[in-house]
Amino acid sequence: MNRLKTIMIVDDTEMNLMILVEALQDDYELIVAMNGLEAIELLEGQKPDLILLDIMMPHMNGYEVLITLKKNSALEHIPVILLSSRTDRDSKTKGFCLGAVDYVTKPIEIIDVKIRVKTQLRFEEARLVLENQKNVLEERVKQRTLLLERTNSAAINCLVSLLETRHPETGEHIKRTQKYIKELALELQSTDEYREVLTNDYIKLLYKSAPLHDIGKVGVSDSIVLKPGRLTAEEFEEMKKHTIYGGESLAMGIKEIGEDSFLTLAKEIVLSHHEKWDGSGYPLGLAKKEIPLSGRLMALCDVYDALITKRVYKNAFSHEEAKKIILEGSGTHFDPDIVDAFIKREANFIEIMEKYRDSI
Position 360 scores a pLDDT of 45
CA distances from 259 to 13, 250, 321 (A): 67, 11, 40
Half-sphere exposure of 269 (CA within 13 A, CB side): 26
CA distance 331 to 77: 59
Quick one: which of 302, 353, 345, 348 has its CA closest to 325? 302
CA distance 263 to 148: 13
On whether the CB atoms of residues 12 and 58 are closer than 8 A, the answer is yes
Concatenating the DSSP letter of every residue in 331-343 gives: TTTB-HHHHHHHH
pLDDT over threshold 70, residue 39: yes
93-105: buried (b, 16+ CB within 10 Å) or exposed (e) per residue? Answer: ebbeebebbbbee
CA distance 344 to 338: 10
In terms of Cβ atoms closer than 10 Å to its own Cβ (0-12, 13-18, 19+), residue 13 is middle
Would you tell me how many other CB atoms lie within 10 Å of the CB of residue 351? 13
Position 256 scores a pLDDT of 74
- Which value, to the nearest 10 degrees, does the dihedral of the CA atoms of residues 94, 99, 104, 106 take? -50
Position 357 scores a pLDDT of 72
In terms of Cβ atoms closer than 10 Å to its own Cβ (0-12, 13-18, 19+), residue 121 is middle
pLDDT over threshold 70, residue 182: yes
Task: Please state which of the ranges 50-54, 149-153, 281-285 shows the lowest mean pLDDT.
Answer: 149-153
pLDDT over threshold 60, residue 1: no
On whether the CB atoms of residues 211 and 269 are closer than 8 A, the answer is no
- Percent of the chain topping pLDDT 90: 62
Chain centre to alpha carbon of residue 231: 44
CA distance 120 to 49: 10
Beta bridge partners of 52: 9, 81
Task: Please state which of the ranges 64-68, 169-173, 332-336, 342-346 shows the lowest mean pLDDT.
Answer: 169-173
61-70: buried (b, 16+ CB within 10 Å) or exposed (e) per residue? Answer: bbbbbbebbb
Query: Sorting pLDDT into bands at 50, 70 and 90, what band is 163?
Result: low
Sequence-ordered list of residues with C-beta below 8 angstroms from that of 161, at least 6 positions apart, any chain: none
pLDDT over threshold 70, residue 153: no
Quick one: which of 233, 237, 247, 239 has its CA closest to 217? 239
Which domains are seen in the chain, by residue range? 6-135 (3.40.50.2300), 167-359 (1.10.3210.10)
Beta bridge partners of 311: 314
Would you tell me how many other CB atoms lie within 10 Å of the CB of residue 185? 26
Quick one: which of 277, 352, 283, 279 has its CA closest to 322? 352
| pLDDT tens-digit readout, 193-229 | 999 999 999 999 899 888 889 888 888 887 887 787 8
CA distance 105 to 126: 26
